[in-house]
């Protein structure tokens, strides 16, 4: 399992480097070209999507490679999970540090502004450059956000793996309809009851962290239940 | 020290790929797993190496349940047509990682073997041709030095020269490690003398499980004038018959016994025995 | 060395080894290839090679030098000649007679052929 964990971590770090590099390049390009640049939500948006993709892409790879190299599904799943979580931790800390540095450097300037979800929702200090404690919370929030998105990715990929062609269509359409039609309607119906919880979530960062953590655990459980009996076959050519 | 298959069945939806099969692969022997397409050979090997779960029965490696067991899985290496490597991985990278996964893996040997087969170590695994894909996996298997080697049609796509090289390398490895080798092949003729025991599968069941010598010694061909052959064949277990003009040839199970003068008796090689056996089963 | 489906492989190997000893290809006190070498060269299972070689060891034709390999015993050639003479009748004469009968040759005709064979040997 350790070997597979190492593989996953190194592979993920490569992916992180590429995404981070691309993001930096784009930001630099914009700020140089246009003068005024606002980077809003680098952490949450880009990072969350990146985490989702990591979850989607890596699980099957690890289960397959693991089997070829003599590793059980359980060990491969754990290696995959820990490898992903490790890189999520590195990413969240890294991005937070980067944000802090950029904010300190661009403080007062109009040319380059960086903010993020945490700051928008939860920051109480009201300053552009936050307190170290707040940066800490930002990193923690990013981490659980990545974990939740990553787990969701793992769940999706495993679900589609276990299911046959017809099932895949059903699953895909349900997911799509669920998100676009079902979810908003459900929210609308439940809205009177949701106002208080939502307010708590958007004002209390610990509540949000717990919320995301619970989702992450749920997704992971689902992933394992699906992965433990999966048939290990090669990818369709 | 063995791999034990105990009453294993595997069902895929409507199809029963394996029906209550049992056998033991004893330590330090070379086994040939023979059978037509769909007989269940690949399924059996996939079950042993944990790629799928049996519908019924048990698989044991060195006395331990093989299912979801890192220790058991680490003692074997399966080489099959399926490519389970990440899309972009290159041959050399695979060697490097294999060395970390399998403590006995000999990286230097892998590199040397790759060179002998003219395998480009910089190639991406999923871009290799059928033949070189097989060669890549063969090299891994030979360099892995695991106690058990499972080879599912190892020479698929290999030219005659490479096949020859592979057989010799396999025998050298076997002589050096005294590992247990189970390999399935359609080129029975080429492997006939290398294999100590043959397990013949047909439609998911074990048809024969015996030393090759016993199987080939337990059958013969008889040929001569058709009527005399027919008379001789009466009451004997006939596997197959061919007639041309007034001459007839038949493959028969058992001992030749008293043979009329005008009939000729010859032995049967494993491939001809296998074909004759399948023809007999087809008629049943 | 070639193997066919006639007899068990180990027997064929043993016989071909005997041929080699008789003909001098494997001189007495000389080394014969190891089991692994036979196995790899002729693509036969080492256990089969071992069986064949053991036959010759049991017959006193080969012996093992610890750590070095298998060697041809001195006197092996003579021993083999003696054994083959005893088997000559079964191995050759019987099948020759059988074939002659198939072809309808008489005993006299057969004897005359044998004489012709010996004459032809004087080159």
A198-212 burial by CB neighbour count: b if 16+ within 10 A, else e?
Answer: eeebeeebeebbebb
Listed residues B197, B212, B227: the one ending a domain: B212
Give the domain range for residue B180.
2-212
B-chain CB neighbours of C101 within 8 Å are 261
C-alpha distance from C118 to closest chain B C-alpha (Å): 28
Structure-token match 């289960």, residue found:
A63
CA-to-CA distance for B13 and C50, rounded, in angstroms? 47
Q: Are the CB atoms for A62 and A72 separated by under 8 Å?
A: no
Nearest Cβ partner of A3 from B49, B53, B100?
A: B100
Q: What does DSSP assign to residue A180?
A: I
Q: What is the pTM of this model?
A: 0.86
Q: Are the CB atoms for B253 and B270 separated by under 8 Å?
A: no
Q: Does residue A36 sit in helix, strand or coil?
A: coil
Q: Give the CATH number, domain containing residue B253.
A: 3.30.70
- Name the residue in chain A with its Cα closest to that of B102: A69
CA B85, B89, B91, B97 dihedral sign is: negative
C-alpha distance from A6 to closest chain B C-alpha (Å): 10
3-state secondary structure chain C: CCCCCCCCHHHHHHHHHHHHHHHCCCCCCCEECCHHHHHHHHCCCHHHHHHHHHHHHHCCCEEEECCCEEEECCCHHHHHHHHHHHHHHHHHHHHHHHHHHHHCCCHHHHHHHHHHHHHHHCC
Tell me how many domains chain B contains: 2
DSSP, residue by residue, chain B: -EEEEEEEEEEETTEEEEEEEEEEEETT-EEEEE--TTSSHHHHHHHHTTSS--SEEEEEETTEE-TT-HHHHTTEEEE-S---S-TT-BHHHHHHHHHHH-TT--HHHHHHHHHHTT--TTSBGGGS-HHHHHHHHHHHHHHH--SEEEEESTTTT--HHHHHHHHHHHHHHHHHH--EEEEE-S-HHHHTTT-SEEEEEETTEEEEEEEHHHHHHTEEEEEEEHHHHHHHHTTS-EEEEEEETTEEEEEEES---S--TT-EEE---HHHHHHHHHHHHHH-
Strand intervals (E) in chain A: 37-40, 112-115
> Based on the domain organization, do B95 and B199 belong to the same domain?
yes
> Based on the domain organization, do B206 and B222 belong to the same domain?
no
- pLDDT of chain B along its 284 residues, tens only? 899 999 999 999 899 999 999 999 999 999 999 999 989 999 999 999 999 999 999 999 999 999 999 999 999 999 999 999 998 899 999 999 999 999 999 999 999 999 999 999 999 999 999 999 999 999 999 999 999 999 999 999 999 999 999 999 999 999 999 999 999 999 999 988 899 999 999 999 999 999 998 998 889 999 899 888 998 888 888 898 999 988 999 999 988 888 888 888 888 889 999 999 999 999 87
> Based on the domain organization, do C46 and C13 belong to the same domain?
yes
C-alpha distance from A82 to closest chain B C-alpha (Å): 18
Q: How many residues does chain C have?
A: 123
Does residue C1 lie in a domain region? no
> Based on the domain organization, do B151 and B206 belong to the same domain?
yes
Give the domain range for residue C63.
9-74
pLDDT at C123 over 60: no
Does residue C2 lie in a domain region? no
> Based on the domain organization, do B201 and B222 belong to the same domain?
no
CB within 8 Å of chain A, chain B residues 235-264: none
Residue A179 is encoded by which pair of tokens? Answer: 């998100």
Query: Do residue C39 and residue B267 have CB atoms under 8 angstroms apart?
Result: no
Q: Residues of chain A whose pLDDT is less than 70?
A: 35-43, 108-113, 123-127, 237
Nearest Cβ partner of B168 from C5, C9, C40?
A: C40
Which helix or strand (DSSP H or E) is residue A65 part of? helix A48-68
> Based on the domain organization, do B143 and B274 belong to the same domain?
no
Question: Cβ of A185: how many Cβ atoms within 10 Å?
Answer: 10
Q: Do chains A and B touch (3 or more CB pairs under 8 A)?
A: yes
Residue B138 is encoded by which pair of tokens? Answer: 């063969």
> Based on the domain organization, do B87 and B35 belong to the same domain?
yes
- pLDDT at site A37: 66
Please, what is the angle between helix A73-106 and helix A48-68, to 10°?
150
**pLDDT tens sequence across C85-115:** 888 888 888 888 888 888 998 989 899 988 9
> Based on the domain organization, do B109 and B224 belong to the same domain?
no
> Based on the domain organization, do C70 and C91 belong to the same domain?
no
Does residue C36 lie in a domain region? yes
Listed residues B212, B240, B257: the one ending a domain: B212
CB within 8 Å of chain B, chain C residues 20-39: 35-36, 39
Query: Which among C5, C95, C103 is the top mutation candidate for probing chain B, defined by the most B β-carbons within 10 Å of its own β-carbon?
Result: C5
In sequence order, what are the residues at sequence separation of 6 or more whose Cβ sits closer than 8 angstroms to the Cβ of residue A78? A1, A5
CA-to-CA distance for C111 and B226, rounded, in angstroms? 33
Q: Do chains A and C touch (3 or more CB pairs under 8 A)?
A: no
> Based on the domain organization, do C15 and C67 belong to the same domain?
yes
> Based on the domain organization, do B156 and B237 belong to the same domain?
no
Pairing, β B180-184 against β B15-26: unpaired
- pLDDT at site B153: 94
> Based on the domain organization, do B150 and B251 belong to the same domain?
no
Q: Does B126 touch chain C (CB under 8 A)?
A: no
Query: Do residue A70 and residue B68 have CB atoms under 8 angstroms apart?
Result: no
Q: Give the CATH number, domain containing residue B11.
A: 3.40.50.300
**pLDDT tens sequence across A86-136:** 999 999 998 888 888 877 777 766 666 677 777 777 766 666 777 777 788
Q: Give the CATH number, domain containing residue C31.
A: 1.10.10.10
Listed residues B161, B191, B212: the one ending a domain: B212
Tell me how many domains chain C contains: 2
> Based on the domain organization, do C88 and C107 belong to the same domain?
yes
> Based on the domain organization, do B35 and B127 belong to the same domain?
yes
How many beta-carbon pairs under 8 angstroms link A with B? 63
> Based on the domain organization, do C44 and C84 belong to the same domain?
no
């Amino acid at each position: 399992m350790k070997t597979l964990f190492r593989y996953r971590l190194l592979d993920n770090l490569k992916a992180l480097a590429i995404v981070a590099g691309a993001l930096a390049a784009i930001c630099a390009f914009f700020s140089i070209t246009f003068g005024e640049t606002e980077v809003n939500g680098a952490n949450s948006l880009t990072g969350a999507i990146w985490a989702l993709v990591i979850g989607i892409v890596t699980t099957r790879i690890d289960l397959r490679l693991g089997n070829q190299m003599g590793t059980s599904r359980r060990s491969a799943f754990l290696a995959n999970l820990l490898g992903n979580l490790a890189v999520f931790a590195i990413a969240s800390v890294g991005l937070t540090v980067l944000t802090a540095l950029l904010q300190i450097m661009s403080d007062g300037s109009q040319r380059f502004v960086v903010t993020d979800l945490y700051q928008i929702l939860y920051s109480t200090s009201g300053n552009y450059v936050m307190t170290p404690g707040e940066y800490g919370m930002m990193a923690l929030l990013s981490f659980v956000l990545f974990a939740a998105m990553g787990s969701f990715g793992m769940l999706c990929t495993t679900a589609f793996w276990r299911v046959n062609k017809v099932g895949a269509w059903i699953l895909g359409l349900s997911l799509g309809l669920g998100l676009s039609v079902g979810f908003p309607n459900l929210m609308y119906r439940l809205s009177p009851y949701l106002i208080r919880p939502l307010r708590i979530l958007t004002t209390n960062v610990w509540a949000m962290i717990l919320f995301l953590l619970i989702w992450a655990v749920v997704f992971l459980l689902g992933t394992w239940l699906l992965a433990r009996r999966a048939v290990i076959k090669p990818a369709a050519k | 020290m063995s791999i034990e298959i105990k009453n294993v069945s595997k069902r895929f939806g409507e199809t029963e790929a394996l029906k209550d099969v049992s056998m033991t692969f004893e330590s330090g022997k070379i086994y040939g797993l023979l059978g037509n397409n769909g007989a269940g050979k690949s399924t059996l090997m996939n079950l042993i190496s944990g790629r799928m779960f049996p519908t019924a029965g048990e698989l044991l490696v060195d006395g331990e349940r093989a299912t979801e067991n890192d220790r058991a899985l680490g003692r074997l290496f399966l080489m099959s047509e399926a490519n389970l490597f990440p899309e972009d991985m290159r041959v050399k990278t695979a060697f490097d990682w294999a060395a970390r996964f399998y403590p006995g893996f000999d990286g230097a040997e892998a590199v040397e073997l790759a060179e002998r087969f003219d395998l480009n170590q910089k190639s991406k695994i999923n871009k290799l041709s059928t033949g070189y894909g097989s060669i890549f996996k063969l090299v891994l298997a030979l360099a892995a030095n695991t106690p058990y080697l499972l080879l599912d049609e190892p020479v698929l796509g290999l030219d005659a020269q490479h096949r020859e090289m592979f057989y010799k390398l396999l025998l050298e490895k076997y002589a050096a490690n005294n590992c247990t080798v189970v390999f399935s092949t359609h080129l029975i003729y080429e492997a006939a003398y290398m294999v100590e025991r043959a397990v013949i599968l047909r439609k998911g069941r074990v048809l024969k499980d015996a030393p090759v010598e016993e199987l080939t010694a337990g059958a013969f061909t008889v040929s001569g004038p058709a009527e005399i052959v027919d008379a001789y064949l009466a009451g004997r277990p006939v596997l197959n018959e061919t007639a041309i003009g007034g001459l007839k040839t038949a493959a028969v199970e058992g001992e030749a016994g008293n043979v009329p003068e005008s009939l000729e008796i010859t032995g049967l090689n494993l491939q001809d025995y296998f074909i004759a056996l399948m023809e007999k089963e087809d008629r049943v | 060395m070639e193997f066919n489906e006639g007899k068990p492989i180990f027997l064929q190997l043993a016989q071909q080894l005997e041929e080699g000893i008789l003909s001098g290809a494997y001189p007495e006190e000389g080394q014969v290839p190891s089991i692994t070498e036979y196995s790899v060269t002729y693509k036969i299972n080492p256990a089969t090679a071992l069986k064949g070689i053991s036959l010759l060891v049991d017959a006193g034709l080969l012996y093992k030098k610890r750590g070095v390999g298998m060697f041809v015993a001195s006197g092996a050639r003579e021993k083999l000649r003696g054994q083959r003479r005893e088997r000559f009748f079964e191995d050759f004469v019987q099948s020759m007679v059988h074939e002659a009968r198939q072809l309808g040759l008489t005993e006299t005709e057969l004897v005359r052929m044998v004489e012709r064979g010996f004459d032809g040997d004087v080159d």
